Structure 1
Amino acid sequence: MQSFRTELENPIVEKDIIDLEKKIRAFREGKIHDEKFRSLRLARGVYGQRQPGVQMVRIKLPFGKVTFKQLLRIADISDEYGSSNLHLTTRQDIQIHYVSLDRTPQLWAELEQDEITLREACGNTVRNVTASATSGIDPLEPFDVSPYAHAVFEYFLRNPICQDMGRKFKISFSSSEADTSFSYIHDLGFIPKLKADGSRGFKVLLGGGLGAQPSLAHAVEEFLPEDELIPYIEAIIRVFDRNGERTNRNKARLKFLVQKIGLDELLNLAAIEKTANKFKFFNINRDVIAQPQPPLLIENALTAEELKNPLRYEQWLATNVFEQKQTDFYGVFVKVPVGDIPSNTARKLVAAISPYVADEIRITQNQGLMLKYARKASLPALYEALESIDLAAPGFDSVADVTTCPGTDTCNLGISNSMTLSKVLEDVIYNEYEQLIYNREIKIKISGCMNSCGQHGLAHIGFHGSSLKSGKAVLPSVQVLLGGGTVGNGVGRAADKVIKVPAKRATHVLRAVLDDYQANSIADENFHGYYDRFGKDYFYQLLKPLADLSTLTDDEFVDWGHVETFATAIGVGECAGVVIDLVATLLYETDEKLGWANEAYNESRWADAIYHSYNVMVSGAKALLLQKNINMSTQTGIIKEFDVNYVDTQEITLKSSFSELILQINQNEPSQEFATQYLAEATSFLDGIKAKREALV
């Protein structure tokens, strides 16, 4: 490993990468526990994959924005460090697979040369902030939400309040009431609102999530003024950090905290936390995300009449192109099969489109791309350029555009294949139901397991990987879900689990549902109306013959895309870090947190110093509780039990209860005076903890 001190201009980023390099070395030398190291690397976008000895690196691209230069940089990185492939995700990130752990610091350093980060792309952090791909050019939008999404990304990146939460935290911004960023499945989702006097604000949705137990978000604000956006998010995260579950990761999302304490109580706690916020109001720079320069007008451009396949062009024009709110310009969607772009194709893509569109690409929530500012006269030439690299398929975001996670190809949690199944289902649509490439209402989504990374929980027709047993043999299967999807303005539907069938019969499931829909839906009835009119049991009976295992063939014991007989092989998931219950490790971490507190204090970052000091006391208290084999699952539990087991028994002497000491954090403004006092108290507390620990051992 080498030093990156001379390569980067940003000292904060440089320090991050050097720290990762040191931690990898310490891990290799056995100085850091492997589970602690896992949480550390996850927060730096480095995720273990199904294949041993290699990593998936997730690149964090706020609201999916990437320039031509950045895309070329990522393609080069994938060639140098990975498998020469770029995988687009449903959270508008790009993933690179098969990366050596030891090379990740160098990889990160090279990405940062073009202002691309890995920081907090995984782990128990604020994940990538998503936004409608059309934001900024959407004819329906009240205003561009991109600057707001960017401000949220910047504010919470490296923010002490969200570096080691009990679980991940997801935020989205939709460009309009069409809710194309799915506010209803996020911890916090925002929909822009504009008052008659021009005041900007957001409708706020809270506590949504998919996973194995879907929960639809609650509407908690109809109009949150724009300057209260970041303080509001900060207060909610502070409550989640202190009160959220930390032991059982299956119950650790914000939606479970809402279920546990109630929505009203959570909002009351958030109101209390606002006192401690760094800002009471935060003005968003609306101009920070400027619209890119449109391309020059090309003389004598190719015309539609000169195209090799004018009928296919007309299909593409009808399904993949829309008029922007900017007069005389068009947005163009690019359908990317299973979200995979080989690095060489990415280079060809930039070369092909750069004469015809602006220098800004947006990754879409359904794993495609959106291009901006195409001129009408250039559309035939742009189509021909995309066609030359097999990226001009019509039917973007239609029934023929299936969303999928990587499944068993690379993910530890994958049960059955999703990538090949996605391609097979798309082939069924193109070959047997071509008219449905114009239908952008019905969505088909697939996940390799129940965790819904492919968003099957919000699909009209969804599948997730599973298994079935027939005699002594196990065969790949899919759980079929129906009836989910977006309604609008923050309202959504979670899909119903209907039936489980062998995976090789998923194509028959699709045909059965689509045939019935075409035969029995009534005029102007959407899929939701059709599904509700017949009801879940109707579809169970419709599909029940496909679940009959008495007619199995040998081929059905082999998963899609495989040649070997199916066997379940589920590893340990890494969607968030694992809790470490080692006293020595905790005290080591606590010392590190105290160092961060002092560093923030010396840089006059009072709010950060205060929160680091808070974490010093929580971590120190947890260490001593573990000494007595007491493991609390929340920070509030740690605070309470430390009083019961150490302060009330006078094993630790404090001037007040531990609760009164530590919870000064939400009763004081983040001033220099309070930061000075609180840091001194945290330092003294840690000294006491260490002394007690030494006495006990």
Structure 2
Amino acid sequence: MSFYKLPESLDSEIKEYEKLVKEYKAGKLAAVKMKAFRVPFGVYEQREPETYMCRIRLPGGAITPEQLTGVAEISEKYTSRPLHFTTREEVQIHHVTLEDTVSIIKELKELGLSTRGGGGNTIRNILGDGSSEVDPYIQALTSRLIAEQDSWSLPRKLKIAFSGDSSDRGLATCNDLGFIYKPSGFSVYIAGGMGAKPRVAAKLYDFVPANQVYNIAKAAKNLFDKYGNRKNKHAARLRFLFEKLGKGEFIRRFEEELTAVKKQNYPSLAIDDLPAQTKSWQDVPLFLGDLETAKAKQLAKDIESIRATPNQNLKIRRRGYISSPAQAIDPIIGRAIVCTGADTCRLGICLSRKLLSAIKDKKMGSSDKIDDIKINISGCPNSCGRHHIADIGFFGVAKRHDNRPVPCYTVVMGGVVFEGKTKIAEKAGVLPAKAIPDFVAEYLKHVKAHRKSGEPFFDYYIRQGKDEAVRLIEKYSPIPGFSENKDYYFDFGADRPFSVAEKVEGECSAGIYDLIDWDFENIKIAMANNDFRRVVLSAARALLVTKGLEPKSEAEAIVLFKQNFIGRHLDALFGGTVDKYLNNQEITLDEAKGLASAVKALYDSMDNSLKFPELNHKEVEVLRSPRGAVERDFRGVTCPMNFVKTKLVLETMQPGEILEILLDDGEPIENVPASVKAEGHKILKQEKVAGYWRVIIRKEGGN
């Protein structure tokens, strides 16, 4: 038995994947091309180079006990790591080689499971709440959509969700397309989502008959495929199209697509009636979403049915009495959601899993005042930990203090999920990572003392909780200097100071954006205080990091900005404003505001490779060594600047040309070659010479 039908094309796609893996391992295929095929196949590279993860599709979290046993046995063959259940109700096998992913995918197919669509610009796993009213629709819609070739080449990922009632435990109001069950049909929501720019879905229909589910999903996919933004992945989700077109025009175009779909007379989804259930679901909390393979196999022997849930836990129906595979943990920790963060994810900034472990160590205990509270943590702004709909949420950011990066989290609070009431959590402040466990513990003491029995958390938050959060954030936000308490400069579980580029391949820019945003935040503060010199300084410094420039003083920041931006990316008239700063002359409000606005507009025009449009285009001369290689000495340059500088040089070169760089031992040699490789270039040689490293890179095409 399987909960979805594998597409007929899967066999040929697996063969093509196997062929590309062999070509890549033989050095005949660029990394960027391999990535373009493996990511839509649900295979992601982890932070450790050449170590991969396979994400397995489970529609509505549905997996049979036999399949769970099979997945556990497959995992045991290739890794010693536990199975990991995600917030999208999938199961992942971590820390495997690329060659082994081929075998894993083949063996999963024999179980009736697939990783196809686990990543990339595809129809992602369809979410559900485990209710019998929606399970058949999730499974039938999955089988239909994954059989359609246009489901694998969308402008960006498309996420669909179903809920069995208005409590919306399946998060229909927070996805690209959502269905909430009503007798004989559904209410429908569209263009929602989380990520760095979250949006509550708009109601599309109060009610549609159940036989229209496929037509609506097909129309939404066609609309997205036709009008979605393929040029800018940061503005490519369906909700950005909604914002661009406006509600009226968006719905008009959707109705056009729906009319066209209906004319095709597609058959309705084949819905199988589920047998009536006399047993209720039992929750099985999994700390961090992890389940050891031995426990998974034992669990599968003793249950009738099982579902993964959106909070990284399991729901089971027992055959008889069985012991729970879950650890004995406080209920609030059992409900908590956390993404993998910088432990394994290439986008991760902070070690989010270790933060939750530190919070767990505070031993909150059990109380009806706190047991239902949702604590959600993401290692970066991308919301894989669903911080935007948390009661108390955190997402990782990098801040700078004492001229050093510090692992921090933005605190968000007051998220709500319920049909007609869904609300995105609001930002409450920023805390250093090391202060968060104490913040949470003290805040929950206040909740226990002041929240009324049966009171929704949001009502308590508005009544007293918001003011208490503000007070505690002010208390815990100060960061001591490095010499005073260096622990603040180490993330949880880390044995060396925090670095925004540590072990990251191709995602070094994640922390760079935080440093830029930090200066833009300083601009706002300076404007509010009428400190126009500080506005000019922050504006001038904000974008220097994109060119690999690290000013040692405020004056140097101004000089470097003038040399690298004025007359090249910004109008020469702004040179007068920065000259006033250098000459200690008075700067007016209009001058400060004008420069800050121009820099912000320039930042908004920056592309994904950290480049800006130029006022006039001049060829960049590249100095070459007698051997024909470009040479750069980046010893003494710290992360992530050394990668940024390397990237900038490579952008001036032609495919096939050689770059030789010198790097320090430690973080530079660990980070830079990995990031360069992930950009699609070839590392020809890497050798240690008298205490430093020599790295030879071949520029590959198109990067």
Change (3 A) 1:435 1:108: same
1:243 equivalent to 2:175? Answer no
Q: Could you say which residue in structure 1 is the equivalent of 2:213? A: 229
The separation in 2 between residues aligned to 1:10 and 1:205, in whole angstroms, is 27
- Partners of 1:256 and 1:248 in 2: how far apart? 11
Deviations 1:341-396 (A, max 9, x none): 12222223334xx1xx31x210111111111255xxx4xx32xx22xx5x263665
Q: Which residue of 2 aligns with 1:561?
A: 493
Say if 2:169 is the partner of 1:183.
Answer: no
Give me the whole-angstrom Cα distance separating, in 2, the residues matched to 1:107 and 1:373: 29
- In 1, the alpha carbon distance for the partners of 2:229 and 2:446 equals 44
1:366 aligns with 2:308: no
**CA distance in structure 2 between the aligned counterparts of 1:11 and 1:255, rounded to whole angstroms:** 32
Cα contact 2:189–2:202 (8 A) shared by 1: yes
2:377 aligned residue (409, 424, 446): 446
Q: Does 1:151 align with 2:140?
A: yes
2:304 matched to 1:284? no
Distance in 2 separating the partners of 1:523 and 1:346: 37
Mapped to 1, the partners of 2:58 and 2:149 lie a distance apart of 21
Distance across 2 between alignment mates of 1:220 and 1:10: 30
Displacement of 1:276 in angstroms is 4.2
Measure the CA separation in 2 of the matches of 1:231 and 1:168.
19
* Deviation, structure 1 residue 419: 1.0
Q: Distance in 2 between the 1:506 and 1:571 partners?
A: 28
Equivalent residue, structure 1, for 2:355: 421
| Aligned-partner SS, 2:256 | helix
Provide the C-alpha distance between the structure 1 equivalents of 2:470 and 2:9, rounded to a whole number of angstroms. Answer: 56
Instruction: Give 1:440 deviation, angstroms.
Output: 5.0
1:417 partner amino acid: L
Decide whether the 8 Å contact of 2:89 with 2:127 is kept in 1: yes
Partner of 1:578: none
1:404 maps to what in 2? 338
Asked if the contact 1:413/1:572 (under 8 Å) is kept, the reply is no
2:277 aligned with 1:332:
no
Specify the SS of the correspondent of 2:310. coil
Aligned equivalents of 1:210 and 1:514: distance in 2?
26
Q: Give the SS at the match of 1:277.
A: helix
2:403 & 2:457 partners in 1: Cα distance? 39
Distance in 2, matches of 1:164 and 1:11, equals 17
Instruction: Indicate conservation of the 8 Å contact 1:339/1:368, yes or no.
Output: yes
* TM-superposed deviation, 1:22: 1.8
TM-score w.r.t. length of structure 1: 0.68
Equivalent position amino acid for 1:102 in 2? E
> Do the aligned partners of 2:443 and 2:468 also contact (CA within 8 Å) in 1?
no
2:87 and 2:6 map into 1 onto residues whose CA distance is 31
* Alpha-carbon distance in 2 for matches of 1:192, 1:281: 22
Shift of 1:103: 2.4
Tell me, yes or no, if the aligned pair for 1:231 and 1:280 is still in contact at 8 Å. no
1:337 and 1:524 map into 2 onto residues whose CA distance is 26
Structure 2 CA distance for partners of 1:557 and 1:234, relative to 1, 3 Å: same
Please report how far the alpha carbon of residue 326 of structure 1 lies from its aligned counterpart in structure 2 after TM superposition.
Answer: 4.0
1:459 partnered with 2:390 = yes
Which position in structure 1 is the counterpart of 2:419?
Answer: 489
Q: Which structure shows the bigger proportion of residues in helix conformation?
A: 1
| Counterpart for residue 475 of structure 2 | 545
Distance 2:283 2:290 in 1: 15
Where does residue 248 of structure 2 map in the other structure? 264
2:38 counterpart of 1:53: no
% identity of equivalent residues? 32
AA at the equivalent of 1:264? G
Match of 2:463 among 516, 525, 533: 533
Higher RCO, 1 vs 2 (CA within 8 Å, ≥6 residues apart): 1
Are residue 206 (structure 1) and residue 206 (structure 2) matched? Answer: no
What is residue 644 of structure 1 aligned with on the other side? none
Alpha-carbon distance change, 281 to 15 in structure 1, aligned in 2, over 3 angstroms: closer
Partner of 1:176, secondary structure, is coil
Cα deviation, residue 469, structure 1: 1.8
TM-score using structure 2 length:
0.67
The 8 Å contact of residues 140 and 271 in structure 2, kept in 1 or not, is answered as no
Task: Tell whether the 8 Å contact from 1:334 to 1:392 is kept in structure 2 after alignment.
Answer: no
1:170 equivalent among 159, 180, 183: 159
Measure, in 2, the Cα distance between the counterparts of 1:9 and 1:509.
48
3-state SS of paired residue (1:494): coil
Contact 2:287/2:333, CA 8 A, preserved across alignment: no
**How do 1:72-111 and structure 2 match up within 5 A?**
72-111=69-108
Is the 1:457–1:495 contact (alpha carbons within 8 Å) kept by the matching residues of 2? yes
Work out the CA distance in 1 between the residues paired with 2:397 and 2:113: 36
Q: Match for 2:271: what amino acid?
A: R
The residue that corresponds to 1:655 in the other structure is: none
> Cα offset for 1:97?
1.4
Cα drift, residue 101 of structure 1: 1.4
Instruction: Give the secondary structure class of the aligned counterpart of 1:549.
Output: coil
SS at match of 2:428: strand
Q: What is the alpha-carbon distance in structure 2 between the residues aligned to residue 496 and residue 11 of structure 1? A: 45
Give 1:16's aligned residue.
13
Match of 1:350 in 2: 300
Residue identity matched to 2:335? D
Query: Which SS does the other structure have where 2:9 is aligned?
Result: helix
Where structure 1 has 5 or more consecutive residues not aligned to the other structure, the ranges are: 1-7, 137-143, 195-199, 292-324, 575-631, 634-697
**What's the CA shift string for 1:77-99, capped at 9, x where partnerless?**
21222343201000000111122
Q: 1:96 to 1:168 in 2, by over 3 A?
A: same
CA RMSD of aligned residues (A): 2.6
Q: Deviations over 1:549-574 (max 9, x none)?
A: 24762222221122322222254469
| Aligned match for 1:469, one of 400, 408, 420 | 400
Counterpart contact for 2:430–2:473, Cα < 8 Å: no
Aligned to 1:618: none
- How far apart, in 1, do the equivalents of 2:299 and 2:149 lie? 39
CA contact (8 A) 2:8 2:147 kept: no
1:534 deviation in Å? 4.5
When the two structures are aligned, how many residues end up with a matched partner? Answer: 501
State the 1:60 CA deviation: 0.8
Q: What is the identity, as a one-letter code, of the residue corresponding to 1:366?
A: N
* Contact residue 46 and residue 122 of structure 1 kept, 8 A: yes
Is 1:128 aligned to 2:62, yes or no? no
Instruction: Indicate the residue corresponding to 1:254 in structure 2.
Output: 238
Q: Which string of whole-angstrom CA distances, capped at 9 and with x for unpartnered residues, describes residues 428-448 of structure 1? A: 2xx344225x75532001111
Secondary structure at the aligned position of 1:491 is classed as coil
Give the secondary-structure state (helix, strand or coil) at the position aligned to 2:361.
Answer: helix
What amino acid sits opposite 1:549 in the alignment? I
Q: C-alpha distance in 2, partners of 1:126/1:416?
A: 28
Tell me, in whole angstroms, the C-alpha distance in 2 between the residues paired with 1:467 and 1:543: 17
Could you say what secondary structure the match of 1:493 adopts? Answer: coil
Deviation at 1:15, TM superposition (A): 1.5
Amino acid at match of 1:365: P
What SS class does the counterpart of residue 52 from structure 1 fall into? Answer: coil
Return closer, same or farther for 1:440/1:522 CA change in 2, 3 Å cut-off.
closer
Contact persistence 1:227–1:281 (CA under 8 A): no
Match of 1:393 in 2: 328
